[in-house]
Amino acid sequence: MELQIKLFATLREGRGKIVTKEFNPPTTPKKVLEALNIDEEDVAILLVNGVDANLDQELQEGDVLSIFPPVGGG
């Protein structure tokens, strides 16, 4: 199944802004991070379709993941 992965801030380095990739179901955000060679410790915020998600939830065809390193401001 195809997933769209949006990367932000330092996670874009060497990977680009948006990655569209095929995964064998069932799959999880954890497997997406492995496929993109992103260390779990570098991920501070993980959204699936704009909603807070966890690393082990099952993903669905067409889901959009947004992945952020630690960021802040105000």
Partner 1 sequence: MSGYCGKILRINLDERKVVKEDLNMDWANAYLGGRGLATKYFYEEVDPKVDAFSKDNKLIVATGPLSGTPTPTGGRYMVITKSPLTDTIASSNSGGRWGAELKFCGYDMIILEGKADKPVYIDIKDDQVEIKDAAHLWGQTTSKTMELLAKDVGDKAKILNIGPAGEKLSRIASVMNDMDRAAGRSGVGAVMGSKNVKAITVKGSSKPAIHDKDELKQVVSRVNKLIKENGVTGEGLPTYGTAVLVNIINENGVFPTNNFQLATFDKAEEISGETLAEKYLIKRTGCYGCPIACGRHCKVDDLEAGGPEYETIWGYGADCGLSNMGNIIKANYWCNEMGLDTISASTTIAAAMELYQKGLITDKDLDGVPLQFGNDDAIIEWTKRMGLREGLGDKLAEGSYRLGEHFGAPEVSMSVKKQELPAYDPRAIQGQGLAYATSNRGGCHVRAYLISPEILGLPEKLDKFSTEGKPLWVKTYQDLTACIDSLGLCLFTSFAAGAGEYADMYNAVAGTKHTDESILECGDRIWTLERMFNLKSGLKKEDDTLPHRLLKEAIPDGPAKDKVSLLDQMLPEYYELRGWDEDGVPTEDKLNSLNI
Shortest Å, Cβ 70 to partner 1? 2
- HSE on the CB side for 2, CA within 13 Å? 5
**Of residues 24 and 45, the one with the C-beta less far from partner 1:** 45
CA–CA gap between residue 32 and residue 14 (Å, rounded): 16
What the block records as the tokens of 31 is 């497997």
21 binds partner 1 (CB under 8 A): no
8 binds partner 1 (CB under 8 A): yes
Residues present in the chain in total: 74
List of residues contacting partner 1 (CB under 8 A): 6, 8-10, 12, 17, 44-45, 47, 49-52, 66, 68-74
